[in-house]
Structure 1
Amino acid sequence: MMTHDVREPTTERPSRGQTCAGVEESSCSCEGDGRIRRRLRNRKAILDALGSLLQRGVASPSLEEVADEAGVSTRSVYRHFGTVEEAREEWAVETERYVAGLVSNASGRVLDGASLEERCLSLVMARLALYDQVGGLVRATSARRAFSERDAKSYEFGRAVVEAQVPERFAPELDAMEPDERVVRLAMVNTLVSDLAIDDLMTRFGERRQQLVPLLVKQLVTAFTC
């Protein structure tokens, strides 16, 4: 007589480090991390592409143009931001932080007791360094500020951050002036080294930067002493 070995069915638990599907947990984690990294890379690529298009003079990039520049699908742009305008908002916020950091780093260290001419030279070199890094960005934002409230806000933010350096740098001269004269002198200095003035001068002088620097310094000194 044949007997059957009847046993209670057992449910084996996955060994430690495995899921029920027999996949290593560490592999799942790596795959998840990989997806997150790809999403972050794509998001950054989209923002970088948007900035690149704006700096090249594309005033209102389309979703398709941004996707093509970033090397991603239009669906990816839509999934990350919904619209190009939403991407522009995030790009503007990040750019404002970036510009503020650049202004701080490029402000030029002014030693105590530095002469007026030395402080003027420091300001000129700081503004030229800033132009080298964000000149195209400033041009793009300036061109759109009349049509875009967000771009106008970004432009004014950048200008305020840059102009805030002047009173501190030239405090000895400004503190000795009457209020009205102080306002006029500040306006003169900020006009001489504004983003629009630097952009125009760099276009005219091109590679002759060494000739431009002493001329600008001379004009700044004159603005405080004439």
Structure 2
Amino acid sequence: MTTLLTSGAPDGRRQRSERSKQAIIEAMLAMIAEGILIPTAQQISERAGVGIRSVFRHFEDMESIFVLADETCRERYEDIFLGGDREGTLEQRILHAVEQRAKGYELYGNVILSTLAQRWRFSTLSKNYGRYQRGLRKNLQDWLPELESLDASCLEAVHGIASFEFWNRLRDHQGLSKKAAIGIVVQMLNAVVVAK
């Protein structure tokens, strides 16, 4: 009987450890979603309901928390940005692409802002941000194969117009509604892509 009880102990500890780890990740992501773009280890530990020592028992440093958070959420991000209706005329596909990006930017805008605010500190964030930017460029060209015929400066203009940074400027700095921001981005992309 003693053997049975003790043999299950390591599994129990491992499960508790995994739950604590997941609670730490979810706490950090929840805080970022709420607008706390640079949460501290102390804030994360309090939100997760674990001691500060527990945070650093599970994670070597803050950067390693971001690494696991990115791995945890990558599929969620990709489901949004890679989804959407890709059929129709060029004008329809431009609208669909912008609407799909707007959905992702609205859902994960604070995660992107957090990454932008901290990528100078953590090489992993900088690397991941670069990877996502390359993915977004490729994704837009999948939506709009017509981009291949644009010259280099027009192509860069398209990616600038479709970027989170431009979206954030319209929504946050200029205070536009989501619908108005979509309209502006669509109008600008049409002017560059369809006019060519």
> TM exceeds 0.5?
yes
Q: What's the counterpart of residue 184 of structure 2?
A: 215
Q: Is the 8 A contact 2:161 2:189 kept in 1?
A: yes
- 1:194 paired with 2:154, answer no
Distance (Å, rounded) in 2 between the aligned partners of 1:79 and 1:125: 42
What is the identity, as a one-letter code, of the residue corresponding to 2:18?
A: L
Say yes or no: does 1:110 pair with 2:86.
yes
Instruction: Give the match for residue 59 of structure 1.
Output: 38
More helix by share: 2
Partner of 2:57: 79
TM-score normalised to the size of structure 1?
0.73
Please say which structure displays the higher CA radius of gyration.
1
RMSD: 2.6
Give the equivalent residue in structure 1 for 2:66. 88
The equivalences for 1:1-226 within 5 A come to 19=1, 21=2, 25=4, 34-54=12-32, 56-59=35-38, 61=40, 63-105=41-83, 108-111=84-87, 114-171=88-145, 173-175=146-148, 177=149, 181-203=150-172, 204-206=174-176, 208-224=177-193, 225=195
TM-score by length of 2: 0.83
The SS at the match of 1:164 is helix
Offset, 1:194: 0.3
The structural deviation recorded for 1:34 is: 4.9
Encode CA deviations 1:83-128: one digit per residue, 9 max, x unaligned. Answer: 33332332234344543343223xx1212xx212101101110111
Q: 1:132 to 1:58 in 2, by over 3 A?
A: closer
Segments of structure 1 that go 5 or more residues without pairing to the other structure are 1-18
Give the C-alpha shift of residue 81 in structure 1: 1.6
Runs of 5+ consecutive residues of structure 2 not aligned to the other structure: none
State whether residues 24 and 55 of structure 2, in contact with CA within 8 Å, keep that contact through their aligned partners in structure 1: yes
How high is the sequence identity, in percent, across the aligned residues? 21
Contact 2:37 2:111 in 1 (8 A): no
Cα displacement (A) at 1:197: 0.8
SS of residue in 1 equivalent to 2:151 = helix
Distance 1:52 1:149 in 2: 23
8 A contact 1:166–1:186 mirrored in 2: no
Specify the SS of the correspondent of 2:38. coil
Number of positions where the alignment pairs a residue of Structure 1 with one of Structure 2: 193
Deviation at 1:77, TM superposition (A): 1.4
Q: State the structure with bigger RCO (CA 8 A, min sep 6), 1 or 2.
A: 2
Distance 1:146 1:84, change over 3 A: closer
Matching residue of 1:13: none
